[in-house]
Amino acid sequence: MNIPKERRYTQDHEWTSTKDNTATVGITEFAVEQLGDITLVELPEVGDSVSAGDTVGVIESVKAVSDLYSPLSGTITKVNTALEDAPEQVNEDPYGQGWIFEIQVDDTAQMDTLLDANAYKSHLSTLEE
């Protein structure tokens, strides 16, 4: 399973990639495998102010409907509108073209609360037992 080392992760299977105080957010390959073929991504609204852990959208698949959570507190600055017409991009490239939204982070120290790749991998091993 692909778990890019330069990303940070949540126990809810979101990933973040940061540049300065902006984080790009998507769901992990593990989440994609659990969901199956994604049929709809309900995106958050640009300009929304969110707190870490808030539900910001929904992902629907052939298997389930799952909430999408914000891993960090801040303001939504951009959403991947291409997913409205092509939600399968999340399946095909979860760490690339399948990104879901960008957030301007209120406090970059929040990043330290997220899991690094090794910690996320360890978390996954507890789920597979």
Alpha-carbon dihedral 72, 78, 82, 85, rounded to 10 degrees: 80
**pLDDT of 95 higher than 90:** yes
* Burial (Cβ within 10 Å: 0-12, 13-18, ≥19) of residue 122: exposed
The correct CATH number of 8-122 out of 3.40.50.970, 2.40.50.100, 3.40.50.1950, 2.40.128.110 is: 2.40.50.100
Whole-structure pTM value: 0.94
Portion of the chain with pLDDT greater than 90, in percent: 92
Taking only the tens place, the pLDDT of each residue in 17-69 is 999 899 999 999 999 999 999 999 999 999 999 999 999 999 999 998 999 99
| Domain assignments of the chain as residue spans, ordered by start | 8-122
Q: Which residue has the tokens 């330069």?
A: 6
Closest Cα to residue 61, out of 82, 41, 75, 81? 41
